[in-house]
Amino acid sequence: MKKLILVFLMIILAGCNSQKKYVNFDYSFARSGGISPIYENLLIKGNKAYYSYEGQGKIIKKDFTLSNEDLLLIEQTLTENNFRKIQEDYKKLYDNSTIEITVKRGNNSGNKSNASLIMKKNQQQWDNIVTVFQQMIDRNINPDS
């Protein structure tokens, strides 16, 4: 009986530890929704990145390492495009694929989403930031996974 309890406790502890990488991160890029819903997440903590994608009949999960240059590129792009000053619009949109970017580290800390669109004057800045995250995904994820 003691062995059974020990095995049960080990399973519970292993399950709890596997979720830690999804809680504590420096950068988060998430795309979700749409008429044919997709769920895509890129979480970055230090140089470690965790990617997941579910949609269009595909499920992809991959962990990879980003270089210091990649992290510097993200931070420079956020700074050059004034991430914290990007304004979100307040229009209501439905069945729209949305992107949410969360930064928990440095001077660019903040959370922005295009769920209600981005103000026209900030759209190019938003696109530049989205592009740098998409480049990290494209460079590290095999589309045939």
Q: What pLDDT, in 10s, does the model give residues 32-83?
A: 988 888 999 999 999 999 999 999 889 999 999 999 999 999 999 999 999 9
- Assess if residue 132 is contained within a domain: yes
Nearest to 70, CA basis, from 133, 144, 6: 133
Is 92 a member of any domain? yes
* Residue 8 belongs to a domain: no
Q: Is residue 64 part of a domain?
A: yes
Contact 113, 122 (CB under 8 A): no
Tell me the C-alpha distance between 141 and 33, whole Å: 21
Q: Is residue 103 part of a domain?
A: yes
CATH number at residue 83: 3.30.1560.10
Contact 45, 26 (CB under 8 A): yes
pTM: 0.80
How far are the Cα atoms of 26, 44, 75, 132 from residue 104, in angstroms, in the given order? 5, 10, 12, 17
Residue 9 lies in a domain: no
Q: Could you tell me if 111 and 101 are in contact, meaning their C-beta atoms sit under 8 angstroms apart? A: yes
Determine the structural domain holding residue 46 and report its residue range. Answer: 26-140
Number of domains observed in the structure of the chain? 1
Residue 111 maps to a domain: yes
Considering only CA atoms, which of 66, 63, 64 is closest in space to residue 75? 66
Whether 14 maps to a domain, the answer reads no
pLDDT tens-digit series, residues 91-139:
777 778 899 999 998 899 999 999 888 999 999 999 999 999 999 999 9
